[in-house]
Amino acid sequence: MPIRRLYLARHGAADAFGKLTDIGRRQAGLLGERLAGLPVDAVWHSPLPRAVASAHEIARHLPDVPVAEAAELVDHVPYVPGAAETPASWAGFFDGYDDTEAASGRRLAEALVARFAKVPDPGTKGTRPDVNEVLVTHAYPIAWLVRHAMDAPPSRWLGLNSANTALTVIEYRRGLPPTIVMFNDMSHLSPGLRWTGFPAGIRP
């Protein structure tokens, strides 16, 4: 039975202009070293420069693995919750979103799930091998895929943050619900490189 494994990673630390910093490059390189022993089939990345640069830094450690852009991985708000669904700590965050922007975010979220959150199609006589893909993206798409795997209400993506180059792994098998193998794992990073991308007040 073929399995799809998604290795989800937020891009490395970036500056205010969205450019990968030296710390971000180090983080991405360490993630690449961690993934180097795995049978990775492809590295997909968001169109945004910080994700593109992170993906290519990771891919330096994955010889001959193709690297390509996936528009569905772009940074976006996947679901704008109603007032009753919005935690007090998020009050005001969605005030600038109109119906058109909210609908666009929902379409992107649906496309993300449709493209990646599924079991591979069986090959001839069901012999297709497992699919192992690295997705270099942003905190919100990762949160949405985790929420989807848990079959949680749409608003539950809120607060599922990911540190820069932290690793989340989800497996998809036919006839079974998705399995979250790990979430926001930073064991490949030295202590000084962990928790970037998190608000300072909620870092452990």
What's the per-residue H, E or C state across 56-102? Answer: HHHHCCCCCCCEEECHHHCCCCCCCCCHHHCCHHHCCCCCCCCHHHH
pLDDT digits (tens, 9 = 90+) for 115-157: 999 998 776 445 558 999 999 999 999 999 999 999 999 999 9
The confidence score (pLDDT) of residue 9 equals: 98
Element (H, E) at 171: strand 167-173
- Report the candidate in 139, 127, 154 with the shortest Cα–Cα distance to residue 2: 127
The confidence score (pLDDT) of residue 89 equals: 86
Neighbours of 33 (CB within 10 A): 13
CATH superfamily of 3-130+140-167: Phosphoglycerate mutase-like (3.40.50.1240)
Q: Determine the Cα–Cα distance for residues 107 and 3; give it in Å rounded to an integer.
A: 26
Say if residues 128 and 120 touch (Cβ distance below 8 Å).
Answer: yes
The confidence score (pLDDT) of residue 127 equals: 55
Say if residues 31 and 188 touch (Cβ distance below 8 Å).
Answer: yes
What residue spans define the domains of the chain? 3-130+140-167
pLDDT digits (tens, 9 = 90+) for 27-84: 999 999 999 999 999 999 999 999 999 999 999 999 999 999 999 999 999 999 998 9
The confidence score (pLDDT) of residue 123 equals: 64
